[in-house]
Copies of this chain bind each other. A is one copy, B any other.
């Protein structure tokens, strides 16, 4: 089943690699902080996310959330009230990426300068240091 690796095999690496698939999902400036925030498991309102992500603009936040939703990572629950309320949570797929990310966090913590702990991630991430 392991097909032979030829010189040409590497050509489309970026399109085919599941690692890149994963990295593209959490890539970008705000996706990772958003995922980290939602990792608590609590449904979180748009405005609450915006307040905690210092420096994010409405445009970037809305876009990041939309892309994460399209990727099946976050769930968007809209309540038709006045004023409007929208809450975001991680989907099962979103939760399932946390352990792999945690592995990466452990590796990173081993090689980053000692005092640079992850301020953004969940309790688990903090406990790795």
Q: Which residues of A contact B (CB under 8 A)?
A: 1-3, 5, 7-14, 16-23, 26-27, 29, 32-33, 36-37, 51-55, 72, 93, 96-97, 99-101, 103-112, 116-121, 123, 125-128
Contacts and interface: CB of A to CB of B under 8 A. Distances in A.
Nearest to A54: B11
A129 to B, nearest CB: 8
Contacts of A14: 29, 32-33
B119 A10 contact: yes
Contact of A2 (B27, B110, B126): B126
A119 B12 CA distance: 8
Contacts of A119: 5, 9-13, 16-17
